[in-house]
Structure formats: structure tokens, C-alpha cells
């Protein structure tokens, strides 16, 4: 490919690499084209690699975002974590099958006249580098070439991973041509073949990438956050866990399934390898758990962070820094946030364990929880995942700031629509996880809080899930106990987990713990997805695991409303001054006293009122989630199918001619 230029998607943007030091970022230049001269020297080649980081991660600005190259939170909004957005794929009035061109998941991309940042574009750039670096990189050092190739193998692996879990089997293109070129007319491979290729690439990445504590390792000061051998090792655990799950494993219910055995063995090897490199759970308390993202400072090794998106706190466009959009989006308007935060659905408030680790039960003979007082006697992670009236949520210059979320009637003669609210929310609580308690309200939009894409706790949960699926209940409880012990849940009764007697109970216990530990980290949709937990049909995984399917449910909220409907704020200055619930004091007498004071205040001045209109609404009417079976693995855009005739459409999805496809996506 002599001097044939590859037109890149970046025309005027400065190049930014995710997971690199601030100095590294500031040294970059703007390029919009690359040719084989990139292999002339290491500086040129590094710019190409930097562009790859940019193409994969430049939109990764929220911890709830998913999918390489896209990183938006649309998947999270299809779960119980966020209400109010009834996307097409959970809209019961929609039936998507390819009849309309916008029915398909858009991630695959479309036929375009110019090179755009689509998955196969990113794959092509990986292939180009891998094909040419040995041939043309005579001036590049062996260590540089090794690390560079390792990064490219890793990028290609995670791109195929996101493709396979979105579409099932896809074409495996390993040559540097654009999908559609006559020289690489590659049909769809099976999902199993794609998973095999992903693991092969991750094996290569693991062998080639620098590893902490070994010769040639990158330094924390200048390279912290770059993809490492540890990331490749851990990613194999995530990939094989997905391959072993029901969506891709018809034999998932067999404790001896080779896919579960492979996932378990790989995950245990990853634990051993990462532990030897200094990785592990960060800290020994709920405060540490909450503060883990604040200690990085872009250069300091954090044992919890296996993959991390480093963010800049710079408030200008110089160097094209990426700022974390989370702080500004979750902070409330009374302290300078962009709006009313992210209201927490009642389903999330009722989810978290109690202080002893047991699950909340709101009715029946074993009742142990009153949902009106959702803030009482909860898992310490609850108070650091959510903020509610009376809870302290500090910021720079106001270490004792307390949240208040309620409303009162504006005019007693009116019956609807006229209320005062100190903050307009659909819930008595908002999300506060991964906030910086020293954030500056004048520059929330320039948050430099780093985002963990993969943390050590997830690896432990992967291991727990594999043990559960293979019927090893004892080890399942052991690994779940590690997660709970770190945040301070007492050890009694297996850290509140109780006695599990079947593998189905064990699997469900792991999925429950993932919902709590990894809440608002972009993982929930993919857990629902790979376990097919939207369904409520006979014989579904939901019925076997004893979970309530999401289909038929909705995200719900309610108001804390003044008992007295007059034109007066029910809270006095003395009321506000009397309560300041400090998560750092969890479990102490002082903490419990403050909780009791909030209960007393609620009883005397508030009631629980329904929302004025449904939170999940379609055409102003209540909408319940309906995720249809063919949505688990989307069809491929019909224009791609019609242009690339060797690519077969997915079953239950129509091609450009309106004919249902024949390709089974999850074999």
C-alpha cells in the first residue's frame, strides 16, 4: 500500500489519548491524515496510537456510558437505574424488526462516502498498523513496537467484543481494507468464532503489553492509564463470562459447561496475575469505596483501577482536554449543577441491602423494611450512591452542605400544577455516586474525576458468578464476602447473604451484588442482556433464577410533599439546622440519631405523594418496559446488507428486501 493515505476522521480536532498523563495529552498535535511515513520514528507512530485512543474513548465522559467509540448512556436508560427515557427498545408501542431503516441498532454504522469513526473503521486502522509495523518500523525500538502492537491487538479485541454482544456473529476482518472492499468480502462468522478471535487478540495483547512490576513497565508518572497487560488479562475474564452466559451459551444450565469452566479458570488466573502486580480492592471502608476515584490525580497508581479513563480539570480548550460530565450532571442546581440531578427510581432505593447485608422486605411475615423511610438502616454503599433530604453532600467551600428535596403547595385554592420545590425531582433521592466532595461549584463542568471502566471488584464478581454457575456455592459466598467486607458489612450470616442452597440462588445472589456494587457504572444493561432478564416467558432465565423480569415493569418515583397545603415552606431554619446525616459516621450512635431525627421530621411535616404524571410515559400515558426477544442481538442495517451482499441478515430481522434473515447470531 505504497504511500496510499488513510483518511482519518479527525480533521480539526486536537488528538487526545484516553488513559494517558496530562503532559502526554498536552504534547499532541492535530493530524487528519496518515500514511506509511508514520513508521519513520516513534514520535510519528505514537501520534497514530494517540488517534486510536481518541477514536475509541474521546466520548467516554460519563461512568454510565458504554460501547467503544460511542460511549453514551442510552443502554443504562433501558434499565431500572434511570427513569424517564422510554427508548424505542423498551417502548411497548414499538415493534422493531427492520421494517423501518432506523429499527436496527446504529452501532454497526452505515454506508458512507467518507471514512467515519465506525467500528470497522477502527478495526481497519488497527489492522493497518499491525500489518505494517514490522515491515516498515526498522527505526522503532523493540520495546516500542511490542507495546504498540499490544495496544492495537487490545483495541481490536474490545471492538469485536462490543460488536459481538450487540449483533452476535459478525465478519472477522483481519486485513487493512475497509469493510466492503472486493478483496475482503468476508461473511459473518459465528459468535463462537468471534469470541475465539477476541481471546486470541487479548492473548497477544497480554504477551506484548508492559506489565506492572516487570522490566519495561510504564511508569505511573508519565504513562499511567495506558492499556496494560493487566487490562488484557482482566478483559479475558469479562469476555469469557459473556460467552458463557445464556445469550451465547445454550448449555449455560450445565454446571460442567466448558464455557463456564473456561471463564472460571481464566478469571482465577487473572486474579492471581493482577494480585501479584499490586492490584486489589482499594481501601477497607465505605469511605474508601466512595473516594477511590479521587486519589488517582492522573498519575497515582490505584490498585482498584484495571482500566481507567483519565479526565482533565482544565477549563479551556487548550490541548483538547476531556472533562468528566458526571459531576455537573448529578450536582443539584442549588449548588451550581446543571439541573436537578439524576432522580433515583424507587426501584433502586428499595434494592440495596440493609445494614447487616440482608435484603429489604417491605411486606409479609418477614417484613424488615419500611419504604417510606428508605434511608434507615441501609448498606453503607447506599449513603454514598444516593443523596436524600437531610444528608450531607459536601463541595468545595461548603463542607457541611445538606440536601433537601421536597415540595409544598403554592396556592391552596389550586388543585394541580402549582407547587414550589426547592429542587424539582421525581424522587426523594438523587444519585451521588462517584462525586468529588471537594468539587468546585464554579467549574463542575470541568471535572477531572477519572472514570473506572474496569475495576478489581468486577473481576471478583466475575469469579463469584463462574463459581455459582458451576455449582460451587461455598466459593461464591467467599467472593461475595470479599466485596461486602471491604465496605464494612458485618460478617454474620455470610455477610448478610444467608445460606444459598442451589446454584440458581447463587447466580441470582451474584447478579444482585453486581446491581449494588456496580450501580451507575454502565454494567447493568449488559448483565440483563447476557442473562436475558427482560423476558418473563416460561423457562426463561428469570423464572429459573427467581428474578422479576424487567418486561412489564417501569421506573417510578414520588414526591416528599408538605402535609400543609399552603403558601409556606414547611421547613424552618431550625429544622434544617437540626439534621446533617454524615455518611462518614455510618453505624455510629450519632448517625443513627440523625436518621431518627429525619424520620420524626418527615412524620410531622411530609407525606408521600404520587408524581403529577407518569415518569415512564409514552404519549403522556404510563409505559411499562417491553424489550422484545429479537432485540437482544440486533439486525445489521439493511443498507450494509444490500451493499455487502455476502453478509446475511439476522433471524427475526428483515433485510433491504423485507425478507426475514436466516443468520443465527448467537451460535
Neighbours of 61 (CB within 10 A): 20
The overall average pLDDT reported for the chain is 89
Q: CA 310, CA 226: separation in Å to the nearest integer?
A: 9
pLDDT of the residue at 224: 82
pLDDT at res. 176: 84
- Gap between the Cα atoms of 621 and 552, Å rounded: 14
Higher pLDDT pick, 101 / 542:
542
How far is the C-alpha of 382 from the C-alpha of 366, rounded, in Å? 22
Q: Give the residue carrying C-alpha cell 462490543.
A: 162
φ, ψ of residue 481 in degrees (nearest 5)? -60, -35
Q: Is residue 625 a contact partner of residue 85, using CB atoms and an 8 Å limit? A: no
Residue 100 and residue 94 in contact, taking contact as beta carbons nearer than 8 Å:
no
Reported as a single tens digit per residue, the pLDDT across 125-184 is 999 999 999 999 999 999 999 999 999 999 999 999 999 999 999 999 998 865 555 666
What's the pLDDT score for residue 433? 96
What is the tens place of the pLDDT at every residue in 290-344? Answer: 999 876 555 678 999 999 998 888 876 545 678 899 999 999 999 999 989 999 9
Residues of the chain with pLDDT > 70, as a percent, come to: 90
Full set of structural domains in the chain with CATH: 6-77+87-276 (1.25.40), 326-447+558-610 (no CATH)
What pTM was computed for the model?
Answer: 0.92
Phi, psi (rounded to 5 degrees) for 553:
-100, 175
Which cell numbers in the block locate residue 280? 486489589
Mean pLDDT across 581-595? 96
Amino acid at each position: 500500500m505504497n504511500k496510499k493515505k488513510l483518511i482519518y476522521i479527525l480533521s480539526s480536532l486536537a488528538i487526545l489519548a484516553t488513559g494517558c498523563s496530562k503532559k502526554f495529552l498536552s504534547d499532541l498535535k492535530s493530524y487528519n491524515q496518515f500514511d506509511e511515513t508514520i513508521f519513520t520514528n516513534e514520535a510519528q507512530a505514537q501520534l497514530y496510537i494517540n488517534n486510536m485512543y481518541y477514536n475509541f474513548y474521546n466520548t467516554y465522559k460519563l461512568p454510565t456510558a458504554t460501547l467503544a467509540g460511542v460511549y453514551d448512556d442510552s443502554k443504562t436508560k433501558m434499565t431500572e437505574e434511570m427513569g424517564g427515557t422510554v427508548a424505542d427498545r423498551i417502548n411497548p408501542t414499538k415493534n422493531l424488526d427492520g421494517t423501518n431503516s432506523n429499527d436496527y441498532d446504529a452501532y454497526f454504522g452505515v454506508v458512507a462516502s467518507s471514512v467515519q469513526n465506525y467500528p470497522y473503521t477502527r478495526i481497519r486502522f488497527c489492522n493497518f498498523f499491525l500489518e505494517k509495523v514490522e515491515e516498515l518500523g526498522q527505526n522503532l525500538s523493540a520495546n516500542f513496537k511490542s507495546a504498540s502492537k499490544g495496544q492495537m491487538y487490545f483495541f481490536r479485541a474490545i471492538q469485536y467484543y462490543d460488536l459481538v454482544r450487540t449483533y452476535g456473529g459478525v465478519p472477522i476482518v483481519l486485513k487493512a481494507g475497509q469493510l466492503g472492499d472486493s478483496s475482503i468480502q468476508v461473511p459473518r462468522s459465528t459468535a463462537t468464532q468471534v469470541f475465539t478471535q477476541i481471546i486470541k487478540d487479548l492473548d497477544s495483547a497480554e504477551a506484548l503489553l508492559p506489565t506492572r512490576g516487570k522490566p519495561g513497565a510504564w511508569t505511573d508518572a508519565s504513562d499511567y492509564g495506558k492499556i496494560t497487560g493487566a487490562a488484557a488479562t482482566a478483559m479475558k475474564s469479562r469476555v469469557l463470562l459473556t460467552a458463557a452466559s445464556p445469550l451465547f451459551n445454550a448449555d449455560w444450565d450445565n454446571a460442567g459447561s466448558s464455557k463456564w469452566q473456561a471463564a472460571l479458570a481464566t478469571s482465577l488466573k487473572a486474579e492471581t496475575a493482577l494480585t501479584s502486580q499490586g492490584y486489589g480492592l482499594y481501601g477497607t471502608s465505605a469511605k474508601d469505596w466512595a473516594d477511590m476515584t479521587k486519589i488517582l490525580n492522573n498519575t497515582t497508581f490505584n490498585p482498584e483501577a484495571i482500566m481507567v479513563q483519565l479526565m482533565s480539570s482544565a477549563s479551556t480548550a487548550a490541548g483538547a482536554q476531556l472533562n468528566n460530565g458526571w459531576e455537573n450532571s448529578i450536582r443539584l442546581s442549588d449548588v451550581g449543577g446543571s439541573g436537578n440531578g439524576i432522580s433515583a427510581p424507587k426501584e433502586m432505593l428499595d434494592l440495596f441491602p440493609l445494614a447487616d447485608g440482608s435484603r429489604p422486605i417491605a411486606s409479609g411475615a418477614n417484613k424488615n423494611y419500611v419504604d417510606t423511610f428508605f434511608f434507615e438502616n441501609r448498606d453503607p454503599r447506599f449513603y454514598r450512591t444516593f443523596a436524600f433530604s437531610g444528608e450531607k453532600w459536601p463541595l468545595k467551600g461548603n463542607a457541611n452542605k445538606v440536601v433537601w428535596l421536597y415540595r409544598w403547595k403554592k396556592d391552596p385554592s389550586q388543585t394541580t400544577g402549582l407547587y414550589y420545590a426547592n429542587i424539582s425531582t421525581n424522587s426523594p433521592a438523587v444519585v451521588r455516586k462517584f462525586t468529588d466532595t471537594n468539587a468546585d461549584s464554579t467549574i463542575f463542568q470541568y471535572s477531572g474525576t477519572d472514570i473506572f471502566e474496569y475495576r478489581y471488584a468486577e473481576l471478583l464478581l466475575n469469579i463469584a458468578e463462574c463459581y455459582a454457575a458451576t455449582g460451587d456455592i461455598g466459593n461464591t459466598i467467599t467472593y461475595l464476602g470479599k466485596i461486602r467486607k471491604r465496605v464494612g458489612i458485618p460478617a454474620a450470616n455470610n455477610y448478610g447473604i444467608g445460606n444459598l442452597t442451589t446454584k440458581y440462588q447463587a447466580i441470582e445472589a451474584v447478579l444482585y451484588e453486581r446491581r449494588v456494587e456496580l450501580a451507575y457504572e454502565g454494567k447493568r444493561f449488559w448483565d440483563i442482556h447476557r442473562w436475558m432478564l427482560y423476558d418473563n416467558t416460561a423457562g426463561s432465565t428469570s423464572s429459573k433464577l427467581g428474578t422479576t423480569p424487567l418486561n412489564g415493569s417501569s421506573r417510578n418515583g414520588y414526591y416528599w410533599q408538605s402535609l400543609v397545603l399552603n403558601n409556606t415552606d414547611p421547613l424552618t431554619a431550625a429544622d434544617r439546622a437540626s439534621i446533617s446525616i454524615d455518611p462518614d459516621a455510618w453505624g455510629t450512635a450519632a448517625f443513627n440519631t440523625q436518621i431518627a431525627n429525619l424520620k420524626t421530621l418527615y412524620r410531622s411535616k411530609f407525606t408521600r405523594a404520587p408524581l403529577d404524571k407518569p415518569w415512564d410515559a409514552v404519549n403522556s400515558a404510563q409505559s411499562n418496559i417491553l424489550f422484545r426477544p429479537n432485540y437482544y442481538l440486533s439486525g445489521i442495517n439493511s443498507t450494509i446488507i444490500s451493499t455487502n451482499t455476502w453478509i446475511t441478515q439476522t433471524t427475526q430481522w428483515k433485510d433491504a428486501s423485507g425478507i426475514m434473515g436466516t443468520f443465527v447470531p448467537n451460535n
